[in-house]
A = this chain, B = another copy of it.
Amino acid sequence: MGKTRIALLGFGTVGTGVWNILSTSKGEIEANIGEEIEIAKILVKNIGKRRRVEVPPGILTTDFEEILKDTSIKVIVEVIGGMEPTLDYIKMALESGRHVVTANKLLISKFGSEILRLAAENSVNLRYEASVCGGIPLINVIKESLSVERINEVAGILNGTTNYILSKMTDEGCSFETALAEAQAKGFAEADPTSDVEGFDALYKLRILSKLVFGVETNEDLIFREGITNITKDDISHAKELGYKIKLLAAAKRSMDKIVLRVAPTLVPEKHFLAGVGDCFNAVFLKGAAVGELIFYGKGAGELPTGSAVVSDIVGILRNKSTGQKDRKSTVDISCQTTEWSKSKYFVRFSMNNKTYDIQKLISVFESGNSRVSKMLKVEEAAKTSNVLLIISEADTLELRKALAKLEATFESVKGLRVLRVEDFEAEEFNPQILDAGNL
C-alpha cells in the first residue's frame, strides 16, 4: 500500500484535531483512498512546548524551508491562521507544486482569488472547507452538488461565539457582558473578542460563501457590518414579544443584477430553523431556483469538527488528484451593492408617553415616508409610558431614517429609539396586523 506524506503548518487546536483524526480513522482512510497518509513534518514555533499529543521526535520543525525542500511531501496543510506569514507559506507551497489545504477564513476571504489562480497555474488543488462553518461540509457541497444550481440567497449563523452569547442572553436573560465573560471562561471567545463580536469573522465567511454561490468578488467596503455589542436584554425581550429571536445573521441576496450583503444582529421568526440554532452551532440557509430551500447545520468550530473538514479536504485531494474543483463564474453581470439603498424589513422600538400615543398618527408618520408598517404592539411599561414595537415590512435605510426623524419631531415624548433588521425568509404578502396589547 502506498503512502502520501503531508506536512502540517501549525499544531494548535485544529492541527491537533487533524493529527487525532488521521490516527483514529486510519482504517477508514486506507479503505477509502487505497493508501496511507503520514504526517511527515509539523511546523511549530516552539519545539520544546508541552503538547496534549505525543508525536515522534524529529517531525517537529521551526523551519518552513525544511518542509519546502522535502520533495516527498505532497500536501501542505495550513492551520496557523492569520495573514503573516501564512500567505507567503501558501504561495510558496503552491508554487512548488504542493496541494494545499487551509482552514484560514481571513486569508481566503482576502486573497482567495489570487491563491486559487496560483493553484490552477501550478496544476495543484487548494481546498478550504474548514474556513467556513467548521464541520459543515458546505463549501464542497456548493462546488460539487450545487455547482449548476442558481442560488439566489445565502444566509446563516456563521459565527459560533456570538451565537453562544446571544443564546445565553435569550435563554437566561443575562447581559451581553455576562454572556461574553462566560464565553471567554469556556474558551469560546478570545481575550480580545473584537473579530467575533463586531462581526468581522462572519463577514470574512460571508464573502467566501458569496464568491462561491454568486461567482463574483465583492467589495468588502460595500458590505454592511454591525456587531452585537449593543444588543441589550430589552432588545431580546421586545423581539420575543413580536415572535422573533435575535441572531447575528450574515446574508447575501441576489436582487436583479446586484448582490446585497450584510452582517447584522437580525430578528428571525421564532419558528424558523435558524432561530432554533443554539449554543455555538452554525447553520446556513440557501435558496436555489430549482432546489428550493436548503439548510445545513453543524458545529462551526472545535478541534474535531474543524479537523474533520481539513481531513476531508486532504482525502478529497488524494481521491481526485487529476481533477481540480472549478470555482463558479457568474454567467451574468452582477455586482455588489451597498445595503444603504436596498429594501429591508425592520424592527423599530421606542418608548413614549401614553397621553401622546395615537396609533393612526404613528402609522402615518412611517407610511407617508414609504415605510410600511406590518405589525405594531404597544406594551404599557409604567404608569405613564409605553413601549411601542413595530415591524416595518419594507423600507430602504434612507426612507426609514427620514421617517424616524419625523417621528421624533412629531412626538416629543419619543425616547430610546432602537432599530434592528428583520429577516422572515419568505416573500411575505402585505397583511397588516395591528396588535395593541395596551387595549386588550
| Residues in A lying within 8 Å of B, measured CB to CB | 17, 21, 24-25, 27-29, 31-32, 129, 135-137, 140-141, 144-150, 271, 273, 276, 288-299, 302, 304-305, 307-309, 311-312, 315-316, 319-320, 322-323, 326, 328-329, 331-332
Contact = CB atoms under 8 A, between A and B. Distances in A.
Contacts of A271: 276
Nearest to A22: B148
B25 A136 contact: no
Contact of A320 (B288, B311, B323): B323
A140 B144 contact: yes
B24 A294 contact: no
A283 B10 CA distance: 37
B319 A323 contact: yes
Given A136-B294, A298-B295, A32 B323 contact: no
Instruction: Point out which of A309, A312, A332 has the most chain B C-beta atoms below 10 A from its C-beta.
Output: A312
B273 A291 contact: no
A293 B282 CA distance: 11
Contact of A290 (B31, B290, B307): B307
B312 A32 contact: no
Given A25-B149, A137-B144, 10 more contacts: A27-B331, A29-B148, A140-B141, A141-B145, A144-B144, A147-B319, A295-B296, A295-B298, A319-B323, A320-B320
27 contacts: A17-B290, A28-B150, A28-B328, A31-B328, A32-B147, A32-B326, A135-B292, A136-B294, A137-B144, A137-B146, A140-B141, A140-B145, A141-B145, A147-B319, A148-B311, A290-B304, A290-B307, A290-B311, A291-B299, A291-B308, A292-B302, A292-B304, A293-B299, A294-B296, A319-B323, A319-B326, A320-B323
B25 A150 contact: yes
Contact of A295 (B21, B25, B297, B307): B297
Contacts of A295: 295-298
Given A276-B273, A322-B322, A323-B323, A147 B315 contact: yes
Contact of A146 (B312, B326, B329): B312
Contact of A308 (B25, B290, B307): B290
A24 B289 contact: yes
Contacts of A288: 135, 308
Interface of A is mostly: mixed
B298 A148 contact: no
Instruction: Point out which of A21, A145, A149 has the most chain B C-beta atoms below 10 A from its C-beta.
Output: A145
A38 to B, nearest CB: 15
Nearest to A314: B148
B137 A141 contact: yes
Nearest to A312: B145
Contact of A28 (B137, B311, B331): B331
Given A147-B312, A150-B28, A290-B21, A296 B299 contact: no
A34 to B, nearest CB: 9
Contacts of A25: 148-150, 289-290
Nearest to A18: B290
Contacts of A135: 288, 290-292, 294
A304 B288 CA distance: 10
Contacts of A294: 135-137, 296-298
A51 to B, nearest CB: 19
Nearest to A25: B148
Contact of A291 (B293, B304, B320, B322): B304
